[in-house]
Structure 1
Amino acid sequence: MTPLSKSPFPADDQNRNAIWTMLVTRDIAAYLAQAWTTVADDFVKTGFFGVDARGSADPDQWVPRFASLDTYRDEWLRQAAETAATVDPAHAMTALHAATRLERIDIDGDFAIAHKKFHGSLPLRDGGSAFLDWQTQYFCRREEGRWKISGFVGYMANTGATPFRPAALTQHKTAGPYTPVVETRPGARILVISGQAPVDLDGNVIGDTLEEQTRVTMDNCRAQLEAAGSGLSEVFKVTVYLTDLDGWGQFNTVYREYMQEPYPARTAVQAGLLPGFLVEIEMWATKP
C-alpha cells in the first residue's frame, strides 16, 4: 500500500505542522468518513467566510458563496456524501493523499495563509476515475493557542502547471518510484537546477553512507527549488547519478520519503563523481 502523505515541514516547525495536520490528515479522514463533527472545532464560529473561484484564476470571476460556517458545513457534507457514493473506498484514502499538496504556509503572527493544491485521480467504484485539479487558499487564525480556519478562496484553477501522469499509462511490476511519461500544461514555466550533491554551505561532504548522502542531496534539491519559488511536488524529471548502482535499493528507500505519487519521470546512471560523492541529483520542475 502506498504510504499516506507526510508533512513537508521540519519537525520543530510546530505552527506549520499543526496547520498541515489540520488541513491534510484530519480533513481527508473526516471527509471520507463524512464526519463533520471530528473537524468542526477546526473552524472559527464567528466571521467565517468562503469565496468560490468557480474554477478560475481570475479574481474578477470569483463570487462570495459561503457567508457562514453553517452554509459551508452543508456543502461539505453534500460533497462528502457524493464522494462516498462514487469513489472506490478501498483506495480513496491513499489516492486523495497522493493528490493533495500543502507545501507552503505563510505565517504572520497569529494569521496564516495555507496554499493547498489538488492534482490527481480518485478511483471510482465503476472502474473509472475522477480527476482533481484545483487549489484553495485557506486563511487561518490562532485562537487560544490553536490554529483554526477562518475562511478560504476555493475551487481556483491550479495554475502551477503541476506535472501529471497520463491515465492510460502502464508500467512493469518491478518498476521503482518513477513514472514512464509525465505531462505538463502548455505555457508552464520551467525550472532546472544543477546537479546537487551531499555538501553543506561550506562545501563539506556530509554523510558516509548512501542513505545519509541521499537525504542531504534531496534536502539541497528542495532548498534550491523553494528558493526559486517551486517545490518537490512540481518536479517532473529527475536524473540520478550513483557511483555504484548496487545501492539503487537504498537510494529508492530514501527517495520515497521525499517524493510522492505521481512520481516524476526519472533516469539513473552509474558515474564517476567528485571525490567523496556517492550520489548527485538534478531536477526539472514547473513553477507555480
Structure 2
Amino acid sequence: MIEYPSAPDTPRSHLPFSPATRVGELIFVSGQASVDATGKIVSDSFEGEMRRSIENLRKVLETAGSDLAHVVQTRNYVRDGEDLAQFNAIYPEYFTAPYPARTTITNCLTPALRYEIECIAVVRDRQR
C-alpha cells in the first residue's frame, strides 16, 4: 500500500509531486528547498537556505512517522561549488555518525535556490 502523508504545516509545492511517499517502513521525501508552508521560495544566504530546507525535511519526516535520525540516504543539491565547505560544516549538525549514505551534486539548481535536499528514511521505532 502506498501512502501520501501530509499535514497542514507540511511545506507544499505548486508543482505536481507529493512531499513524501510511504511504502511499508520506507519513506521517500521529495526535494525540500528554502520555502514557506505555501511553497513560496524564501531567499537567504546559503546557510539560511540550507537550514530552512533541512527543517522542512524534518517536518515532512515527522508527518510521515520518522525523523532525521532515521534517514538512510540523502541527496543534496548545492547550487554553487564554493558553498561546499559550508555545506560540509553544517551537515553534521543535523546528521550524525555513522552518517546516512549521501550524494552531493553541485552547479545544478535554478538561480532562485541555493540548496535542496531529498532523502529516504525508515519509520521510527514505534516503541520509542
Normalising by structure 1, report the TM-score.
0.34
- 2:63 is aligned with 1:227: yes
Q: Distance in 1 between matches of 2:123 and 2:67?
A: 8
Structure 2 unaligned blocks of 5 or more: 1-23
| Partner amino acid, structure 1, of 2:25 | R
Among residues 73, 78, 83, which one is paired with 1:237 in the alignment?
Answer: 73
Mapped to 2, the partners of 1:202 and 1:274 lie a distance apart of: 19
Which residue does 1:214 correspond to in 2?
A: 50
1:205 aligns to what?
41
Offset at residue 270 of structure 1 (A): 1.4
CA apart distance, 1:260: 1.2
Letter in 1 for 2:30: S
Higher RCO, Cα 8 Å, sep 6+: 2
Question: Which residue number in structure 1 is paired with residue 92 of structure 2?
Answer: 256
How far off its partner does 1:284 sit?
0.5
Deviations 1:221-264 (A, max 9, x none): 11100000000000010000111122111112221211111110
Unaligned runs of 5+ in 1: 1-187
Deviations 1:130-168 (A, max 9, x none): xxxxxxxxxxxxxxxxxxxxxxxxxxxxxxxxxxxxxxx
**Aligned position for 2:114:** 278
Which entry has the higher C-alpha Rg, 1 or 2? 1
2:34 counterpart letter in structure 1:
P
RMSD: 1.5
Pairwise mapping of residues 3-22 of structure 1 onto structure 2 (< 5 A)? none
Q: Please identify runs of 4+ aligned residues in structure 1 that moved more than 6 A.
A: none
Q: Which amino acid aligns with 1:241?
A: Y
- Secondary structure at 1:208's aligned position in 2? coil
Q: Does structure 2 retain, via aligned residues, the 8 Å contact 1:206–1:212? A: no
TM-score norm. by structure 2 comes to 0.73
Partner amino acid, structure 2, of 1:245: G
